[in-house]
C-alpha cells in the first residue's frame, strides 16, 4: 500500500516552491505515494500551483501582535486550524506530515503531534524561522539545506539540500535554446536580474543606474522586474544605452533563465541560492536587509565564503558604480570559470540523503 504524505507550506515562494518540488519528486517514485497539501491561504497563494496538487485549507493567522485583540484572534484561529487539520487527517490518514516553515503550517503540525503522526520539518534558510525553531522539538526528523543550520535546531537534524521543482536541473535544456527563448545573442555574456519574492524595487533602482555605465560592454540582460508597471520604462532605458535585453515582470519558466545566464544579480533567499548552485551560475548577491534574523545575509555568506560562488554587497554598499565595476570584472571569462568551477566542485561532495528519501524512509 502506498504511503500517504501530507505537506504543509504557505507564505512566500521560499516556503512553497520547495514543498512543490518535494511533491513532484514523490510523484515520480515507483511506490506512488499519495500527496495532500494542507495550510492556510493556499487558494490565494500566488506561488502555489492549485491546478497540479490536491489541497485543503485550514484557518491560520499570526499568533503574536502588539494589539492584544489581534493576539487573542491569533490563538482562536490557531485552535480552529488545529481542529480543522485533525478532521482532514482523520479523513486522509497520512503516514507522515512534512512542514516547510511559517505560521501557516503551525495548526497542521500541532494536529499531527496530537494524533501522533510523525513530523518531518524542512528548514531552507541558514537561520531557522520561528515556527520551525519552536516546532523542531516535536519533529521525528529535520532536514536542512545549509550545513551550519544543524547546530541551531533541536532533534535529529540531517542535511538534505533543497528539493527543486520539475525542470530545475542543470543540463535539461541547451543554453542556446534558452537564449533563443529570450531572443538574446549566443555570443554575449548574459546577466540575469531579479529580486525574488521580496525586494525587487531596490534591485530595479540599482540596474537603472548601472545601465548607463555598461554602455560599452557586451553584456546582455534578462531582467524580471517584479512589477508590470515599470517594464516599458526599463525596455526604453536599456535601448537608449544600447544594451540588448529581455524585460518581463515575471517568468513562469525560471529554469530557462538559469540555463541562459552566465551571472546573476539578486537577493539571497534560500531558493535563489539553491537554484544558482544547481545551475552553477555565479552571483552578485545583495541580501534583503529586512529579512527575519538577517537570514539572507547568512545565506549569502555561505554562497560566497563556503562555496566560492560569487560576491556579496550590503544594500547600502551597492551603489551604481560599485555594482557596474564588479559586474564588468566578473563577466571576464577567467573569473566566471573560476566561480563556476567552485560551484561544480561543491556539488560533487559525497552523496547525502534527499528530503524525498527521508520522507519515504521507514521509522526504526
CB 111 within 8 A of CB 86: yes
CB 15 within 8 A of CB 101: yes
3-state secondary structure of 86: helix
3-state secondary structure of 7: strand
Rounded Cα–Cα distance for residues 21 and 19 (Å): 5
- Cite the annotated binding site for UDP-N-acetyl-alpha-D-glucosamine by residue number: 12-14, 125, 165, 197, 296
Query: H/E element holding 57?
Result: strand 55-57
- Cite the annotated binding site by residue number: 12-14, 125, 165, 197, 296
The CA-atom distances, in angstroms, between 322 and each of 213, 284, 315 are 10, 11, 11
3-state secondary structure of 80: helix
CA-only gyration radius of the chain, Å: 21
Burial of 235 from C-beta contacts in 10 A (0-12 / 13-18 / 19+):
middle
Rounded Cα–Cα distance for residues 305 and 336 (Å): 16
Query: H/E element holding 341?
Result: helix 333-347
**Selection from 330, 325, 352 nearest residue 340 by Cα:** 330
Rounded Cα–Cα distance for residues 2 and 291 (Å): 39
Rounded Cα–Cα distance for residues 120 and 157 (Å): 10
Amino acid at each position: 500500500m502506498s504511503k500517504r504524505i501530507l505537506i504543509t507550506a504557505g507564505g512566500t515562494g521560499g516556503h512553497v516552491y520547495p514543498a512543490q518540488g518535494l511533491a513532484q519528486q514523490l510523484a515520480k517514485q515507483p511506490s506512488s505515494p499519495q500527496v495532500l497539501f494542507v495550510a492556510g491561504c493556499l487558494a490565494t497563494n500566488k506561488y502555489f500551483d492549485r491546478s497540479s496538487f490536491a489541497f485543503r485549507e485550514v484557518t491560520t493567522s499570526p499568533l503574536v501582535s502588539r494589539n492584544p485583540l489581534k493576539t487573542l484572534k491569533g490563538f482562536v484561529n490557531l485552535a480552529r486550524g488545529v481542529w480543522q487539520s485533525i478532521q482532514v487527517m482523520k479523513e486522509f490518514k497520512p503516514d507522515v506530515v512534512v512542514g516547510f516553515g511559517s505560521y501557516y503550517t503551525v495548526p497542521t503540525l500541532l494536529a499531527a503531534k496530537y494524533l501522533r503522526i510523525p513530523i518531518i520539518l524542512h528548514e531552507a534558510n541558514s537561520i531557522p524561522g520561528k515556527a520551525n525553531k519552536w516546532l523542531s522539538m516535536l519533529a521525528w526528523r529535520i532536514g536542512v539545506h545549509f550545513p551550519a543550520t544543524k547546530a541551531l535546531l533541536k532533534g535529529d537534524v540531517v542535511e538534505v539540500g533543497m528539493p527543486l521543482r520539475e525542470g530545475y536541473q542543470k543540463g535539461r535544456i541547451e543554453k542556446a535554446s534558452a537564449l533563443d527563448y529570450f531572443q538574446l545573442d549566443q555570443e554575449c555574456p548574459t546577466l540575469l536580474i531579479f529580486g525574488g519574492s521580496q525586494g525587487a524595487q531596490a534591485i530595479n533602482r540599482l540596474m537603472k543606474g548601472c545601465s548607463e555605465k555598461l554602455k560599452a560592454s557586451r553584456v546582455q540582460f534578462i531582467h524580471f522586474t517584479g512589477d508590470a508597471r515599470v517594464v516599458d520604462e526599463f525596455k526604453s532605458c536599456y535601448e537608449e544605452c544600447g544594451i540588448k535585453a529581455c524585460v518581463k515582470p515575471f517568468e513562469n519558466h525560471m529554469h530557462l533563465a538559469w540555463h541562459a545566464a552566465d551571472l546573476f544579480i539578486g537577493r539571497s533567499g534560500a531558493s535563489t541560492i539553491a537554484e544558482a548552485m544547481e545551475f552553477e551560475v555565479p552571483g552578485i548577491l545583495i541580501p534583503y536587509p529586512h529579512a527575519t534574523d538577517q537570514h539572507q545575509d547568512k545565506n549569502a555568506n555561505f554562497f560566497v565564503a563556503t562555496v566560492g560562488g560569487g560576491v556579496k554587497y550590503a544594500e547600502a554598499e551597492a551603489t551604481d558604480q560599485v555594482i557596474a565595476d564588479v559586474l564588468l570584472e566578473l563577466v571576464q571569462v577567467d573569473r566566471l570559470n573560476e566561480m563556476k568551477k567552485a560551484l561544480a566542485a561543491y556539488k560533487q561532495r559525497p552523496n547525502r540523503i534527499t528530503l524525498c528519501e527521508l520522507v519515504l524512509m521507514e521509522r526504526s
